Structure 1
Amino acid sequence: MIGKLKGIIDEIAEDHCVVDVGGVGYVAYCPARTLSSLEGEGTAVALYIETYVREDMIRLYGFRTQLEREWFRLLQNNVQGVGAKVALAVLSTLSTAELANAIALKDVAMVARAPGVGKKVAERIVTELKSKAPAYAGDATGTIGLKQELGENAAPAPVADAVSALANLGYSRDQAASAVSAAMKSAGEGADAGTLIRLGLKELAR
């Protein structure tokens, strides 16, 4: 089984790249985010590989980080109806931190942005991975903290709107979630979105 490829990029296509390792070209299917991060043909690359072996084919899936590969496995092994194609679509659309954020906030709409992922599949991803996401959160610590503030409940509309508004201002989803979490402590859980945004901006300005 191949766990990692380190070589020279020979080709970058729409859904895969070819990595030349000692004169042997390996085809690795990758998320769009991974392919867009490659520096171009003729440059060095290292990809973490998930190897699929079936009776009629052997297919390699490549990722820039081990965390991406773990999410690829997690999505398929724990969510009914999610195979390699859907998992790649999700990871092409969302970074691992954004995916952890969406699951923590039960943001079905964000997950459903991925091509081929309908509302029902997105709901299953959010529901079935809610207990596993913290272990795969990576940099998404702020949103995991906000999830803990909210308990097992979905984020109320004002909270979700405040996080989205701060993210639209250029802050990362994790920074926005951390700020809103702090705002909730001072304003209370019944605060409206405007109040949470205003207090959140004060937290971010510190």
Structure 2
Amino acid sequence: MIAQLSGKLAVCDLTEVVVDVHGVGYAVTVPLSTFDKMPLLGEPVTLLIHTHVREDAIILFGFVSKEERELFRLLIEHVSGIGPRLALNVLSCMSVNGFCGAITDGDLKSLAKISGVGKRTAERMVVELRDKVTAVSPAAAFGGAGADGTTAPGALPRDAQDAIAALGTLGFKHDVATKVVQKLCDDAGKQPLGSEALIRKALMILNS
């Protein structure tokens, strides 16, 4: 099984990157927490890999830190009903410390805000992981491990804030919508997009 990839970053999308290792491109699915830490295209990159084998495919999931990969594995191996995609949503919506702290505190409200996680799934997470998350994040043993570190809406232009609010009314989680809109604003640079354009582009990404 592939455990690590080191090469040059050839492609970098919100949910998938391609690592060029001596001329061979490896497609790796990543959470937003890893995407946020990617270097510029063409620069060296190292990803810790979880190799997921199905009957019809071999899928590589990549992470920038050991803690992210450990939490991903805890979720898919110890919580019934959670597969790789939902585990990625967890890492995309909360930091490792933030999630582990919420598990330790039994903070069902925060956990249920994660895209795809309802009250029952949040309850299963707490029951199954409460005695395991301190191995991933020792700080979780003291509770209140911290927020996920996403950009505060007030730091974004008004059009971006309006787009995030609109995406929220369409059912998308606030933290995920914020990260997507922030990325679109960063890419636009000195030619800012209006709220309608941001919403259309964000929907294309979120529904892809």
In which range does the TM-score fall when normalised by the shorter chain? 0.5 to 0.7
From the CA coordinates, give the structure whose radius of gyration is larger.
Answer: 1
Name the structure 2 match of 1:7. Answer: 7
Matches within 5 A, 1:71-86: 71-86=71-86
Match of 1:42 in 2: 42
Query: Partner of 2:14: helix, strand, or coil?
Result: coil
Q: Which runs of 5+ in 1 are unaligned?
A: 147-162, 174-206
**What SS does the aligned partner of 1:92 have?**
helix
Aligned pair count reads: 147
SS of equivalent to 2:36: helix
Match in the other structure for 2:26 = 26
Of 142, 145, 163, the match for 2:142: 145
Partner AA of 2:84 in structure 1: A
SS of match in other structure, 2:2: coil
Q: Which residue of 1 aligns with 2:101?
A: 101
Percentage identity across aligned positions? Answer: 41
Q: Does 1:62 align with 2:53?
A: no
Q: For the aligned residues, what is the CA RMSD?
A: 1.6
**Where does structure 2 lack aligned partners over 5 or more consecutive residues?**
148-208
One-letter code of the match for 1:15?
A: T
Q: 1:133 deviation in Å?
A: 1.5
Residues 91-148 of structure 1 show CA distances to partners (whole Å, capped at 9, x for unaligned) of 111111111100111011212222111121111111211111122214xx2x4135xx
Where 1:39 maps in the other structure, the secondary structure is coil
> In structure 1, the residue corresponding to 2:124 is in which secondary structure?
helix
| Runs of 4+ displaced beyond 2 Å | none
Distance between the aligned counterparts of 1:27 and 1:90, measured in 2?
Answer: 21
TM-score (norm 1): 0.67
Structure 1 distance, partners of 2:36, 2:129, is: 27
